[in-house]
Amino acid sequence: NYLSMTKKIGLIAAAGLSSRINGIPKFLLPIKNNKNLITNSFVWLQNAGVEKFICATNKTFQPILSKLDGLDNFLRPDDIKIVNTKTMNETINKLIPKTAEPDDIFVTMMPDTYFDDHGLGKKIIKKLEKEENLEAVVGLFQMREDQRGKLGQCQVNDNFITEVIDKSESCNFKYIWGVIAWRNSYGKYIVNSDLSIGLSINRAIKDKKQVGFVVSSSTYFDCGSVDEYWKLIKFLT
């Protein structure tokens, strides 16, 4: 049937140069239980029901990823793609298989982020599968005041996202997005020149498409900077 034929593919874009933390791969930052951020991301995607994983990285980080303990549970060698890209969207577009079917579901999250809501992914995918009017479903988190102007903030009504504003200190939207799942047909809104995949939501809305959401109770951390990583460590300990 429709649900059983739909493939669920997790995409991880780990191709950035980590310039804000002096070139150290952010995805390697350690967390509790001898894990690191990128392993936590793959475990989260697996719990969401993802069946295949594809990861993009750069030529500097590829040897590290290919030998990272535990990642062989998720990635075969040819699932790690070396890319030279300028934006997250360009990276994501290089990861989407040319053979993907229109209703295949893709899920992505940043490998330098952390949240502990491991039930969120199932809710997101279930909502996308059940509600055929939705082009995508986004995982939202309550924004902390210290995150204002640093992430993509979302305005919502009862059912849908109505606008996304990226990294604006004057924005008063109370939610930030952290995960997005979409049907392959949504790919036309993921434009290479946009810095963030969150901006694809605005393109879909402008095209009169509907993007749903699920609000998480988890605290969200973007560990792209040392300050935010210290906040995560304090939270975990």
Query: Are the C-beta atoms of residues 36 and 30 closer than 8 Å to each other?
Result: yes
Backbone angles phi, psi at 132, to 5 degrees: -70, -15
Helix or strand run (H / E) with residue 47: helix 37-48
Neighbours of 1 (CB within 10 A): 5
Q: Tell me the one-letter amino acid at 48.
A: A
The predicted model scores a pTM of: 0.93
All residues at 6 or more sequence positions from 53 whose CB lies less than 8 Å from its CB, including other chains: 9, 10, 12, 42, 45, 74, 75, 79
Instruction: Give the model confidence (pLDDT) of 60-116 as tens digits.
Output: 999 999 999 889 999 999 999 999 999 999 999 999 999 998 889 999 999 999 999
All residues at 6 or more sequence positions from 33 whose CB lies less than 8 Å from its CB, including other chains: none
| DSSP sequence for 48-81 | HT--EEEEEE-TTTHHHHHH-TTGGGT--GGGEE
Question: In Å, how far from its chain's centre is CA 48?
Answer: 12
Q: Tell me the one-letter amino acid at 20.
A: R
**In this prediction, what percent of the chain has a pLDDT beyond 90?**
82
Neighbours of 35 (CB within 10 A): 15
What pLDDT band is residue 12 in, cutting at 50, 70 and 90? very high
Question: Residue 3's pLDDT is what?
Answer: 46
Res. 41: pLDDT tops 90: yes
In 3-state terms, what secondary structure has residue 4?
A: helix
Res. 163: pLDDT tops 80: yes
Backbone angles phi, psi at 145, to 5 degrees: -60, -35
Instruction: Give the model confidence (pLDDT) of 125-161 as tens digits.
Output: 999 999 999 999 999 999 999 999 999 999 999 999 9
